[in-house]
């Protein structure tokens, strides 16, 4: 399991609780996003990209404040490559987490790089209300809701009996 950062206990709760005045919540949220981006950048440095050279890092915030990181891991059989977002999600789920608040995704590009379709699907399956933060090499950021990146998503309600 990923360790919690000092002072990060309950960050997901703080973001969702609405207990604090708006200005305080905005400052705390910025601090959380800063931390997520920093952790995603660290994870990106561990990416294994012998074929594409395209390193990606992700940091996923669980509702209890725990941050799970992931990096992409390439395979010579390209379809078996693991994306950073799915690595982070898999680590979190394997540690028993089921509620998520936000994910930060970073690359070395000058433009924003959103999750691929497979990652969008898995994130949707486990966190349809997820905030997605994309960060560029120069530090620019862009915030989305997953539903905006993945409109008309396929999910479990299609699999249920009518």
Residues annotated as catalytic (active site), given as ranges:
85
Determine contact, residues 132/149, Cβ cutoff 8 Å: yes
Alpha-carbon span 57 to 90, nearest angstrom: 14
For the chain, first and last CA: distance in Å? 39
Alpha-carbon span 22 to 127, nearest angstrom: 24
Whole-number CA gyration radius for the chain? 16
- Structure tokens, 157: 């309600």
């Amino acid at each position: 399991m990923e360790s919690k950062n000092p002072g990060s206990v309950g960050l997901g709760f703080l973001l969702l609780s609405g207990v604090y005045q708006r200005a305080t919540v905005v400052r705390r949220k910025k601090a959380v996003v800063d931390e997520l981006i920093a952790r995603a950048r660290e994870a990106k440095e561990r990416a294994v990209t012998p074929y594409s050279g395209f390193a990606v890092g992700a940091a996923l915030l669980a509702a209890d404040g725990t941050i799970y990181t992931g990096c992409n891991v390439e395979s010579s059989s390209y379809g078996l490559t693991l994306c950073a977002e799915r690595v982070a999600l898999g680590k979190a789920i394997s540690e028993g987490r089921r509620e998520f608040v936000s994910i930060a995704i970073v690359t070395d590009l000058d433009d924003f790089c959103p999750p691929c379709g497979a990652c969008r699907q898995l994130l949707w399956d486990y966190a349809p209300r997820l905030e997605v933060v994309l960060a560029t090499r120069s530090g620019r950021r862009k915030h989305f809701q997953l539903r905006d990146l993945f409109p008309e998503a396929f999910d479990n309600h299609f699999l249920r009996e009518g």
